[in-house]
């Protein structure tokens, strides 16, 4: 557990000369470990069996658990979610232009660009941070073949509106569900919407498999192609019938995934309690609002997302992030500055920002704070206390930051 340091006399912010509030870095997405005894017992079983990869029994077990939990026909485990997106996009035969949110992790666009498919960036709904169906439809051209939307923060996209647009305009529809394992839309678990959905079990996700992901679908033919493509197109020992790559999840990752999955109820409850503690602790701070989850839906609460209104808060988002970093709270500016402002997209589409006003505005306001099993209600209260004192000493903080070398 991270321990507090003794503040220096006359100051209570590290940026202004005090000792940091935390003696060791407090990361966003610090891994949840799960039951170590169960984890090591499975490792020993794997080593005794000498089956380390190539669709081993732990991968098969993990796939069955995922499919049953989400209520889908097929779950195919992969080495990571980015490769999962690439395989799913290729298996669904996306071509030409595909509309994606500008506010997402860069892998959503990379999975297309890597295969010489052009991502076309659409703006967000500022209330949900998800792609806005109305704005999306303005980008459809004769070259558009598909929509690849992201359930940002695990909050579901407007799935019915997107499905209606896709059907009416003759487009394929798929979801990047990297954030959304354990979440629902309209009471239905995310995992069965569109042609397919792709989850991440990266170490920073609340349910992790060290590194890994899964593709879920109710389309039997698509699932068969995906399975071929994750294993070089092999259908038998010496028979290749389809183009493919090495997208397999190893047994070690499935073991971690299964162990994490066994504790999913407790992990989600920890995240929910943390989110509520932040809501209580941040209440009343001017210009700081906590992104809420719909209580009518199932959620994983794995992201604590704060928006800073620069017209109300005494300090803006970037200033508050520098205050937090000085205290060893390594808050993140997800998904700053927006995929459209990252390379190669910034050079390919230099004027995209003109059509993305909400993405531009929200990306400059978001802070993601630490949560998960690595933090406690007491730690959350201290993080909120840092933000409160920073606002109270805003003039001194801003003067100090102005005297420091500019950041690039």
Q: With contact defined as beta carbons under 8 Å apart, do 385 and 392 qualify?
A: no
DSSP 246: B
Q: CA 217, CA 305: separation in Å to the nearest integer? A: 29
Q: What is the architecture, at CATH level 2, of domain 264-403?
A: Alpha-Beta Complex (3.90)
Partners of 77 in the beta sheet? Answer: 214
In 3D space, the residue among 301, 309, 284, 366 whose CA is nearest the CA of residue 333 turns out to be 366
Q: Fold identical between 36-122+130-262 and 264-403?
A: no
DSSP 131: B
Q: Which residue has the tokens 């602790």?
A: 281
> Which pLDDT tens digit goes with each residue over 101-127?
999 999 999 999 999 999 999 999 999
pLDDT at 1 over 70: no
What 3-state DSSP class applies to 215?
strand
Looking at residue 407, what is its pLDDT? Answer: 67
Q: What is the mean pLDDT of residues 343-365?
A: 98
Torsion of CA 253, 259, 261, 264, to 10 degrees: -130
Sequence spans of domains, the chain: 36-122+130-262, 264-403
In DSSP notation, 282-331 reads HTT-TTEEEPP--TTS------EEEEE-TTTSSS-HHHHHHHHHHTTEE-
- ω before 337 within 30° of 0 (cis)? yes
- ω before 352 within 30° of 0 (cis)? no
Q: With contact defined as beta carbons under 8 Å apart, do 109 and 100 qualify?
A: yes
Would you say the pTM of this structure is higher than 0.85?
Answer: yes
C-alpha pair distances (Å), 122 with each of 109, 296, 363: 12, 28, 14
Q: CA 293, CA 140: separation in Å to the nearest integer? A: 30
Helices (H), 343-393: 345-348, 357-363, 377-392
pLDDT at 372 over 50: yes
What percent of the chain clears pLDDT 70, i.e. is strictly above it?
97
Q: CA 378, CA 276: separation in Å to the nearest integer? A: 13
Q: What is the architecture, at CATH level 2, of domain 36-122+130-262?
A: 3-Layer(aba) Sandwich (3.40)
> Which pLDDT tens digit goes with each residue over 191-218?
999 999 999 999 999 999 999 999 999 9
Task: Give the pairing type, strands 172-176 and 144-150.
Answer: parallel
Partners of 149 in the beta sheet? Answer: 175
185: left (phi over 0), alpha (psi -120 to 50) or beta: beta
Q: What is the mean pLDDT of residues 312-324?
A: 98
User: Tokens representing 181?
Assistant: 């394992």
> Which pLDDT tens digit goes with each residue over 22-39?
999 999 999 999 999 999
pLDDT at 43 over 90: yes
pLDDT at 173 over 80: yes
């Amino acid at each position: 557990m991270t321990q507090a340091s003794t503040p220096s006399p006359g100051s209570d912010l590290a940026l202004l000369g005090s000792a940091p509030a935390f003696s060791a870095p407090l990361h966003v997405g610090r891994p949840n470990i799960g039951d170590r005894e169960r984890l090591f017992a499975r490792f020993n079983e794997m080593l005794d069996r000498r089956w380390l990869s190539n669709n081993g029994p732990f991968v098969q077990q993990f796939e069955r658990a995922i499919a049953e939990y989400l209520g889908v026909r097929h779950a195919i485990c992969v080495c990571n979610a980015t490769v999962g997106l690439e395989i799913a996009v290729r298996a669904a035969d996306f071509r030409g232009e595909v509309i994606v949110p500008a506010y997402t992790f860069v892998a959503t666009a990379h999975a297309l660009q890597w295969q010489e498919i052009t991502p076309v960036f659409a703006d967000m709904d500022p209330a949900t941070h998800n792609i806005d169906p109305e704005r999306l439809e303005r980008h459809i051209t004769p070259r558009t073949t598909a929509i690849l939307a992201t359930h940002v923060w695990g909050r579901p996209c407007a799935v019915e509106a997107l499905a209606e647009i896709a059907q009416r305009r003759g487009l394929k529809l798929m979801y990047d569900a990297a954030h959304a394992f354990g979440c629902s839309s309209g009471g239905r678990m995310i995992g069965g919407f569109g042609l397919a959905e792709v989850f991440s079990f990266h170490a920073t996700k609340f349910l992790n498999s060290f590194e890994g992901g899964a593709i879920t679908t109710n389309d039997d033919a698509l699932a068969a192609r995906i399975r071929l493509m994750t294993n070089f197109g092999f259908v038998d020992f010496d028979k290749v019938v389809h183009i493919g790559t090495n997208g397999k999840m190893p047994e070690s990752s499935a073991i971690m995934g299964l162990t994490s999955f066994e504790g999913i109820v407790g992990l989600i409850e920890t995240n929910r309690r943390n989110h509520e503690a932040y809501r209580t602790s941040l209440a009343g701070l001017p210009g700081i609002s906590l992104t809420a989850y719909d209580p009518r839906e199932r959620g994983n609460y794995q992201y604590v997302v704060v928006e800073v209104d620069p017209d109300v808060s005494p300090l803006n988002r970037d200033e508050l992030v520098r205050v937090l970093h000085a205290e060893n709270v390594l808050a993140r500016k997800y998904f700053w500055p927006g995929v459209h402002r990252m390379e190669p997209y910034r050079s390919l589409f230099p004027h995209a920002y003109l059509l993305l006003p909400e993405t531009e505005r929200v990306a400059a306001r978001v802070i993601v704070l630490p949560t998960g099993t690595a933090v406690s209600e007491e730690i959350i209260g201290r993080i909120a206390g840092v933000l409160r004192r920073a606002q109270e000493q805003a003039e001194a903080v801003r003067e100090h930051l102005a005297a420091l070398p500019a950041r690039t």
